[in-house]
Amino acid sequence: MQVEWRLLRGAGMSEIYEAAVDELFSFVDWVRFASSRFTEAQLFFGHGTDNPWDDAVQLTLWALHTPFDRLGQVAHARLTRSERAHLASLIQRRINERLPVPYLTGEAFFAGLKFFVSRDVLIPRSPLGELIENYFDPWLTQPPSRILDLCTGSGCIGIACAFAFEEAEVVLSDICPQALAVAQRNIEFHKLAERITCRESDLFGGLAGEVFDLIVSNPPYVDALDMANLPAEYQVEPALALASGADGLNFTRRLLREARQHLSDVGVLIVEVGNSWVALEETFPEVSFTWLEFARGGGGVFLLTAAQLDDYAAVFAE
Q: What is the 3-state secondary structure (H, E, C) of 89-140?
A: HHHHHHHHCCCCHHHHHCEEEECCEEEECCCCCCCCCCCHHHHHHCCCCCCC
Count of Cβ atoms closer than 10 Å to residue 71 Cβ: 15
Q: Decide if 270 contacts 306 (C-beta within 8 A).
A: no
Q: Which amino acid is at 299?
A: G
Superfamily of domain 108-317: Vaccinia Virus protein VP39 (3.40.50.150)
Domain with CATH 3.40.50.150 in the chain: 108-317
Query: DSSP for 232-263?
Result: HHHHTS-GGGTB-SSSS-HHHHHHHHHGGGGE
Binning pLDDT at 50, 70 and 90, where does residue 318 land?
Answer: confident
Taking only the tens place, the pLDDT of each residue in 32-47 is 999 999 999 999 999 9
Q: So what's the pLDDT on residue 21?
A: 95
Count of Cβ atoms closer than 10 Å to residue 18 Cβ: 15
C-alpha–C-alpha distance, residues 40 and 182, integer Å: 34
Tell me if the pTM is above 0.85.
yes
